[in-house]
């Protein structure tokens, strides 16, 4: 293939789709032809890319002719239906949905962690769940140093994870609260302003939600560590953008804080922000809109023998979605 790639973006008008365009621009990705695909209700819209306006076309089975790489971000249903069609047309698909993440023939990749896995693809490469990608960005360097056995984690997930309509909903509910009116929930089952909602995605038989089990299930594949255990509580919080996660991790080997710090500092895409007494710690208002994840609140865990507690934050739309997808495309 030539250095320039013809790209399709499926779900171009969604919250992640918009970010994909910005990331491609910012990283000067060598885009040849660009095709923006979305549902028929977005037809007629145009989106700006490198000072040109590109029309949004309805996604169809023949949308992939002449395309080299398709970045999918329109939900698992669309991916299940259209990704195989794209592959048949000779396209390499980077899929941001959950449709193929647990398919053993599909690499599931965070480039900084298991970028080499991309080589084994047969047409589709899966982009991990946002909370998984962000948590593993901090956990993986510690895992390399000490060998992780299990983690307990609780997430503080921004409304951006539910898409553009949820961002509007929080904005509307903030306006309602400021005007002393009742906040009306539409996207979420309960109000999200001045509230936290301890359920994301559907509930499984074991009582965890699908979202909560992703960290263990996807983590095992990305870390190449089938015994990795993760007990997670995923919670939606009234934050516009950027997820945060509180993690207690238990390791095989004894942990040393200086070794841990050095491992985190030298890891690409990650900043150590760890001076809590001076109020320096990762926060969504700082990681929002940035490519880099941040880790802090590093401390020896008081409940695990070989344990570390830490706090990680990252932009759900970027490292949790669009950035990671473009990084995968760059590996191709």
Report the catalytic residues: 130, 243
Do strands 307-314 and 293-300 pair parallel, antiparallel, or not at all (unpaired)? antiparallel
Interface region with a copy of itself, contact rule CB under 8 A, candidates 42-50, 54-62, 78-86, 204-212: 204-212
Do strands 293-300 and 270-272 pair parallel, antiparallel, or not at all (unpaired)? parallel
* Structure-block tokens of residue 12: 């171009």
DSSP state of 204: P
Is residue 295 a contact point for a copy of itself (CB under 8 A)?
no
Whether the Cβ atoms of residue 124 and residue 100 lie closer than 8 Å to each other: yes
DSSP state of 319: I
Could you give the CA distance from residue 141 to residue 313 in angstroms, rounded to a whole number?
A: 15
Q: Going along 142-237, which residue ranges are E strands?
A: 148-156, 229-233
Residues within window 262-291 making contact with a copy of itself, judged by CB under 8 A: 276-277, 279, 281-285
Is residue 194 a contact point for a copy of itself (CB under 8 A)?
yes
257 CB neighbour count, 10 Å cutoff: 12
Is residue 104 a contact point for a copy of itself (CB under 8 A)?
no
Between 11 and 296, CB nearer to a copy of itself: 296
Residues within window 171-190 making contact with a copy of itself, judged by CB under 8 A: 174-175, 177-179, 189-190
> Across the strands, what pairs with 307?
250
Q: How far is the CB of 29 from a copy of itself (least distance, A)?
A: 30
Interface region with a copy of itself, contact rule CB under 8 A, candidates 59-67, 123-131, 235-243, 262-270: 235-243
Length of the chain: 332
Q: Which of 96, 129, 191, 327 binds a copy of itself (CB under 8 A)?
A: 191
Is residue 63 a contact point for a copy of itself (CB under 8 A)?
no
Is residue 223 a contact point for a copy of itself (CB under 8 A)?
no
Q: Going along 83-147, which residue ranges are E strands?
A: 92-95, 124-126
Could you give the CA distance from residue 293 to residue 21 in angstroms, rounded to a whole number?
A: 20
Interface region with a copy of itself, contact rule CB under 8 A, candidates 87-95, 123-131, 296-304, 317-325: 296-304
Q: How far is the CB of 239 from a copy of itself (least distance, A)?
A: 5
Q: How far is the CB of 21 from a copy of itself (least distance, A)?
A: 24
Q: How far is the CB of 131 from a copy of itself (least distance, A)?
A: 13
- Within 13 Å and on the Cβ side, how many CA atoms surround 259? 12
Could you give the CA distance from residue 223 to residue 212 in angstroms, rounded to a whole number?
A: 17
Q: Which residues bind a copy of itself (CB under 8 A)?
A: 150-154, 156, 170, 174-175, 177-179, 189-191, 193-199, 202-203, 206-209, 213, 216, 229-231, 233, 235, 237-240, 244, 246, 248, 276-277, 279, 281-285, 296-304, 307, 309, 311
């Amino acid at each position: 293939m030539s250095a320039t790639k013809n790209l399709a973006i499926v779900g171009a008008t969604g919250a992640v789709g918009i970010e994909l365009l910005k990331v491609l621009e910012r990283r000067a990705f060598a885009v040849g032809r660009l095709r923006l695909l979305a549902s028929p209700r977005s037809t007629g819209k145009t989106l700006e890319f490198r000072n040109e306006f590109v029309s949004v076309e309805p996604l169809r089975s023949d949308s992939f002719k002449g395309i080299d790489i398709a970045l999918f971000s329109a939900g698992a249903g669309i991916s299940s239906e259209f990704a195989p069609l794209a592959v048949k047309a000779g396209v390499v698909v980077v899929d941001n949905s959950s449709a193929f993440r647990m398919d053993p023939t599909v690499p599931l990749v965070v480039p900084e962690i298991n970028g080499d896995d991309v080589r084994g693809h047969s047409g589709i490469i899966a982009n991990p769940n946002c909370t998984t990608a962000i948590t593993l960005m901090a956990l993986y360097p510690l895992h390399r140093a000490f060998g992780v056995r299990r983690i307990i984690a609780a997430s503080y997930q921004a409304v951006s994870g539910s898409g553009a309509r949820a961002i509007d909903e929080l904005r509307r509910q903030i306006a309602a609260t400021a005007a002393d009116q009742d906040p009306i929930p539409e996207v979420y089952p309960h109000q999200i302003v001045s509230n936290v909602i301890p359920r994301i995605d559907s509930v499984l038989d074991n009582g965890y939600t699908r979202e909560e089990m992703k960290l263990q299930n996807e983590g095992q594949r990305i870390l190449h560590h089938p015994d990795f255990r993760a007990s997670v509580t995923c919670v939606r919080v009234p934050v516009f953008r950027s997820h945060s996660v509180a993690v207690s991790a238990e390791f095989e080997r004894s942990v040393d804080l200086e070794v841990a710090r050095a491992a985190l500092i030298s890891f690409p895409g990650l900043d150590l922000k760890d001076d809590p007494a001076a109020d320096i710690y990762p926060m969504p208002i700082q990681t929002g809109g940035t490519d880099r994840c941040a880790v802090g609140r590093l401390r020896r865990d008081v409940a695990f023998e070989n344990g570390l507690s830490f706090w990680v934050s990252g932009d759900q739309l970027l490292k949790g979605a669009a950035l990671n997808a473009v990084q995968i495309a760059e590996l191709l």
